[in-house]
Amino acid sequence: MASSVIRRNWFGWLSSSGSQANFEDGTLSYFQVQSPGVGSITVEPAAAKTGSYGLKILEAAASASAVYVRRTFAATDHVKVRGSFRSPTEGAGGNNNAAMRVFSGTTRILDIYRENVTGALWLRTLNAASTLVFTNSGQTRGLNVWVDYEFEVWYRGPGAVSRVKYTIDGVVRIDTGVLDLKQGGFTAIQYGAEHPAQHVDLHVDDIVIDPAA
């Protein structure tokens, strides 16, 4: 099987500290942190968008533990992420399917997700006052529909000076221009939910993560 970390450069500007994974080796070796809890984290054909394998994360809403994986890196104020995700099954209304989250240490700074039932795709950010700010992309996706996304965040200091750019299926849907973020020093990209009792049924494939400024 081919290596999980693939060599072709999807972004065109991937730095020496960037990495890519398509899971074709059939393993979870790309992720330094794996928390299966009482759910499951697997690499399997049913979760593939391209090739033979993709990542599947499954957590029941009644689960007492969190289910997620993380790719970690040295602290940076600028990170770029690309990949594809889909939601195979529906969770409870008012909740969401956690697609991709950006952490600074133990603090979740921002994330993208699909809202259950409505299918709306959202950006959620944490500001300096520790208040969550929600931005609707204006896009919806049904169950079992792949979302190809590119995501880039710049932390530029205190106040409304940072920026997030969120591209969905090749079209920029959110570009905040200036944004108040709680902090920089991003250290991890996560797939799945770090808190218990959240329904997660997520397929992920063709990941690119570049933490270089």
**Which pLDDT tens digit goes with each residue over 36-92?**
878 899 999 999 999 999 999 998 877 777 899 999 999 999 999 999 999 999 988
* Tokens coding 178: 């200036």
Reported as a pLDDT band with limits 50, 70 and 90, residue 108 is: very high
User: What is the structure's pLDDT at 15?
Assistant: 78
List 192's β-bridge partners, or say none: 68
Phi, psi of 47 (to 5 degrees): -100, 10
Mean pLDDT on 169-176: 97
Which of 116, 119, 101, 85 has the alpha carbon at shortest distance from 202? 85
What's the Cα-to-Cα distance from 174 to each of 10, 124, 155, rounded to whole Å? 21, 11, 16
DSSP summary character for residue 163: E
User: What is the structure's pLDDT at 92?
Assistant: 84
Mean pLDDT on 126-150: 97
Q: Give the amino acid at 18.
A: G
Domains delineated in the chain: 19-210 (2.60.120.200)
CA dist 183 and 104 (Å) reads: 7
Is 190 within 8 Å of 101 (Cβ atoms)? yes
DSSP summary character for residue 59: E
